[in-house]
Structure 1
C-alpha cells in the first residue's frame, strides 16, 4: 500500500505469458495507467515472453488494442503511448528451455549498463499453474549481481489445487527464493473498498469498541456473479466455487473483517494478524460439513430475455459434472472477540446479481421503548461494505420520519466513492503491481496463510469430491442460488442480505 510519493527504483518487468488474456486485459493497462499517473519508475522496461512468433511492433499493437478496450483511462493517447511502448519488448521463448533465461539475463545486464545502476527485476507468472515450477526454477538460474535483493516473483492464483500441492509449491519456491521475494497475488485485496477496511476499522475510534461479539450478531460476505463459466469451463470443472473463490478471495476478506488490530502498518505484522484469524476458525468435522455447508450447480434458464445453458451443457464441462458453481458456508472464529458469532459466506455463478458485499449486523437494542405502531419497519443496525457494483460503506440506523407522529424508519448514512472523490479509483492490479515494484508485501499472501486457508477447507473439499450430489443442478439461472442455502441461514433466524439493483442495466 503506497504511503509515499517516492518512485520505485529502475525496474525490469518480465511477463511470462505476455501474449495471454491477463496481460492484455489487466497487466499492461495497469502498468500504462501507473505511467500516466506518474508512478512508474523513471527507468523501466517491460519484457513480454511467449511462444508466438511476434516482433516488437506486432506485440505492441496487440497490447495497444488491449489498452483501448480495457483501460479505465480509455483509449491511449498517441504521444504518451509512443513513449510508453518504446519501453516494451517481446521475447519469443519456451519456458522449458535454458535459452529463455539466458536471453533474459542478457536483457537485464544490458539495461543495468544502459541505466548505470542495478535494477529491480519482477517476474510475473501469468501462465497456467503447471508452469509455475518450471519458470520458477528457470528464473532462479539467472546470474546477476545481488539477485536475492533484486529479484521478485509474482505467482497468480490458483496457488495449488489442494493442501498438499500448495505445500509442495511453497517448498519449491522457498528453496529458490527468500519469502520476501515471493508475491502470491490475489487481486481482490487490491480493490479500493477492501483496502479501506483497514482504514475504516483502525483509523477511527468510533468502531473498534463495538467490533466484537458483544455488539455484532452476525457477519455475511457474498460474492455473486450473474455470468456463467463462459469460456473457462475446462478449468472451472476441475476447480469449482469452493476452490476458485472461497479459498482465496472470500477468506482474505473475512480475515480483514475479523483480524485483531496490528501493532503497526508493517507487512508482516498485518499478515500475522490475518493468519491468526484462519488459525482460529473452527475446523470442519463430518457433522459440521453436513450442517454448515451448502453446494449448488446452476441449471439452464433465461437471463435478461436470453436463454442460457446450464452448467453441464457449457463447453468443456463434463455432462455429469459433480463440480459446484455455488457454495455457502457458516464459519465460527474461536477467540475472545468473535466467540459464537456466525460468519456466513456465499458465492455463485449465474445468480441474480453481480455483487460483492460485506454485511455486518449488530444486535438489537436491549429494551425497545417505542410502541409497535412507531416501529413497524424496524430494522437492526447494519454496516454494509459494498465492493461492487458500487464502492460504498453504508451504516443503516433508525431515525424518526418527518411528521407529528413518532414513526421510525431505517435510513442510510453513506460514504460513496463516486460522490466523495471526483478522481477515478485505480484498478486493483495497479495497486498491487505498484506494491510489487516498491517491495511492499502487505496485500500479498504469505506461505503460512495459503496453507492455513487450504487446511481449513480440505475437509469440505474431500467430502464434496467423495460424495456425488444426486440433485445437481439445483438452482435456476438468474436466481439467488439453491433453496437449501436459504435454510442454512434461516435456521439461525437470519436471511441473506442483498443490495438493491436500481437499474437492470447495471448488471454486467
Structure 2
C-alpha cells in the first residue's frame, strides 16, 4: 500500500513548516507531457515515500475524449519510464483508484459546472467539504479562460474551513504587459495568498540549500560580499536542441524569456539577497524582490551591446553525433532572429554587491547538460606562496551544482606531497546522494507538497514576476525594435558558445569556469 503521511502536524525535516493537507488536485491540460512525465509521477513518488496526505484525489481536465481507464493506462506507461522510485504494479493499482478523467473544452462553461458537481461528489464520498488545488498546466493561451470559468462556477471560493488554491505554470506572461494582465486575472479569481506561480528550479534541493549554505554557516556569510567575492557566474547548459517539436514554442520565446526571466533570475536573487527577517514565505520573497529592484537596468542600446551577447548555434557535433544548426531545426523560421544562447553581465547595485559582476549564460547545443552557480573569491595578495613561480593561479571557488549531480564543492590550493614546494588546486566535494544515502526528491514533489501545505516560499510572488519582466523587457525591445540592435553571434553546436561571450568576461580580466 502507499504509505499514508504521518499524523505529526509538522514535518520532521523542517519543523517550522506546516504539514500538507488532503485535497483534490485538478490538473488542466491533463493529457500533456507535463502531467504524464512530472506531475502524476511526483504525486506517486510522494505516496511511495509516505509524504502524500491520505485521501488525495486527482482529476485530469482536458479536451480529448478519454475514459478513466484510458487516462490511467497512459499515465501508468509513463510512470514506468520516469518514476524516481521505480514502478510497483501493486502500489500503482491502489494509486490509480484516486485518479479520474474529466473531458471538456477549456472554454465550455458547462464543463466547469460538471466539474463542480464532480468535486462535490468526491467531497461527499470523503465526508464533507474539501480542499481543492487547481493546477493550470495547459498552453498559456488558455490561462485566462480557465481562471475566469473557475470563478464563474464558484470553484475559486472555498467552503468554510477549507481552501481553494491555484498553481500557474510558466511562462507567466511573455513581457511585462502580459504578466501584469495575467496577474490581474489571477488576483480577480484567487487571493494572492492562494496563488502559486511555479518555477520548478526553486524546487531543486540545491536551490533550496542556497540560503542554508549562506545563513547557517559562519564560514561563508561574513565573506559573502564585495570585499571578498570577485565575481559570480551562473551557467545553465543544455546539450539538446529542438527535439520533440519544441522549435515551434522556442522560436517564439528564446533563451532570454524561456530561462533567464524566471529560473536564472530566481537563482541570482537567492545568491544576492539579504538575510530575511524570518523564514516565512513573504519574509524570503521580500528580500528576493529587493534584489530584482536593485538590478542595474540595461535600458539603452549601448548598455545592451556592452553587456549582453545573443547567439544561435550552427551545425556541429554533440556526443559524436552530427546535428543541424538552429535555423535548420524543425518548426524554426529559416530566417529566425531568436536567440538559442544568451550571456549577460549584470550588476546588483547594493552595498553588499557594489562592483561585483554577475555573469549569466544559458544555451542550447552546448557540450553537456549542467546548471551551476560558482562564487569566485578574490585571490590573496601576490606575496609569499602566491609569489612563487608556477604557483596555482586564481582564488577559491565555491560551486553550487543545481543539476544533474546536485551538490556543493569548494576549490582551494594545497601543497603537493614531496620535498619541493609545489602547489595544486584541490576540491572538497559534497554530493547529496552519497552524503545522505538517497537521491533528492524531484522538484515537483516538493512544490506540490508545499502548495498542499500552504507554503509559498518556493513560489514567485506577483511583484517578483513583474520586476523580472521589467528588467528583461528592455533587452527584448532593443533586440527587436531598435535600429542599433547587436548582431546575432554564432557558435558551432558542441562548443561552449560564441567568442563574443568569452570576450565579455575578458574585458574584466575574467573567464568562464569550465564545467
TM-score range, shorter chain: over 0.9
- The match for 2:30 is 18
1:196 aligns with 2:209: yes
1:397 aligns with 2:408: no
Structure 1 residue 472 displacement after superposition: 4.5
Mapped partners of 1:304, 1:213: distance in 2:
39
Q: Indicate conservation of the 8 Å contact 2:130/2:159, yes or no.
A: no
Between 1:360-369 and 1:160-169, the stretch displaced more is: 360-369
Match of 2:293 among 258, 269, 279: 279
Mapped partners of 2:386, 2:97: distance in 1:
72
Mapped partners of 1:9, 1:71: distance in 2:
23
Structure 1 residue 124 displacement after superposition: 0.6
- The match for 1:498 is 514
Structure 2 spans left out of the alignment, 5+ residues: 1-10
- The match for 2:108 is 97
Mapped partners of 2:387, 2:22: distance in 1:
67
Mapped partners of 1:309, 1:367: distance in 2:
47
1:48 aligns with 2:60: yes
1:210 aligns with 2:226: no
1:63 aligns with 2:79: no
- The match for 2:41 is 29
Structure 1 residue 379 displacement after superposition: 2.7
Structure 1 residue 97 displacement after superposition: 0.7
Q: 1:411 to 1:55 in 2, by over 3 A?
A: same
Structure 1 residue 291 displacement after superposition: 0.3
1:318 aligns with 2:333: yes
Match of 2:266 among 235, 252, 260: 252
Between 1:380-389 and 1:299-308, the stretch displaced more is: 299-308
CA RMSD of aligned residues (A): 1.7
Mapped partners of 2:400, 2:338: distance in 1:
30
Q: 1:232 to 1:166 in 2, by over 3 A?
A: same
- The match for 1:128 is 139
Structure 1 residue 482 displacement after superposition: 0.7
Mapped partners of 2:478, 2:168: distance in 1:
28
Structure 1 residue 380 displacement after superposition: 0.8
- What TM-score do you get using the length of structure 2 for normalisation? 0.94
Matches within 5 A, 1:449-464: 449-464=464-479
- What TM-score do you get using the length of structure 1 for normalisation? 0.95
Q: Indicate conservation of the 8 Å contact 1:7/1:39, yes or no.
A: no
Q: Indicate conservation of the 8 Å contact 2:22/2:452, yes or no.
A: no
Structure 1 residue 374 displacement after superposition: 6.1
Alignment length (residue pairs)? 498
Mapped partners of 1:280, 1:32: distance in 2:
41
Counterpart secondary structure, 2:133 = strand
Mapped partners of 2:307, 2:82: distance in 1:
40
- The match for 2:373 is 358
Structure 1 residue 8 displacement after superposition: 2.6
Counterpart secondary structure, 2:50 = coil
1:329 aligns with 2:371: no
- The match for 2:8 is none
Mapped partners of 2:196, 2:383: distance in 1:
51
Q: Indicate conservation of the 8 Å contact 2:489/2:500, yes or no.
A: no
Match of 1:235 among 249, 263, 286: 249
Mapped partners of 2:502, 2:45: distance in 1:
42
Structure 1 residue 263 displacement after superposition: 1.2
Matches within 5 A, 1:352-501: 352-370=367-385, 372-373=387-388, 375-466=390-481, 472=488, 474-499=490-515
Structure 1 residue 473 displacement after superposition: 6.0
Structure 1 residue 302 displacement after superposition: 2.1
Structure 1 residue 127 displacement after superposition: 0.7
Counterpart secondary structure, 1:340 = coil
Mapped partners of 2:158, 2:264: distance in 1:
37
- The match for 1:117 is 128
Structure 1 spans left out of the alignment, 5+ residues: 500-508
Counterpart secondary structure, 1:425 = coil
Q: Indicate conservation of the 8 Å contact 1:392/1:414, yes or no.
A: yes
- The match for 2:88 is 77
- The match for 1:178 is 191
Mapped partners of 1:352, 1:467: distance in 2:
33
Between 1:390-399 and 1:324-333, the stretch displaced more is: 390-399
Structure 1 residue 7 displacement after superposition: 4.9
Counterpart secondary structure, 1:384 = strand
Q: Indicate conservation of the 8 Å contact 1:374/1:408, yes or no.
A: no
Query: What do the CA deviations read for 1:410-460 (whole angstroms, capped 9, x no partner)?
Result: 111111112212112100010111111111100000010000000011111
Between 1:300-309 and 1:468-477, the stretch displaced more is: 468-477
Between 1:365-374 and 1:426-435, the stretch displaced more is: 365-374
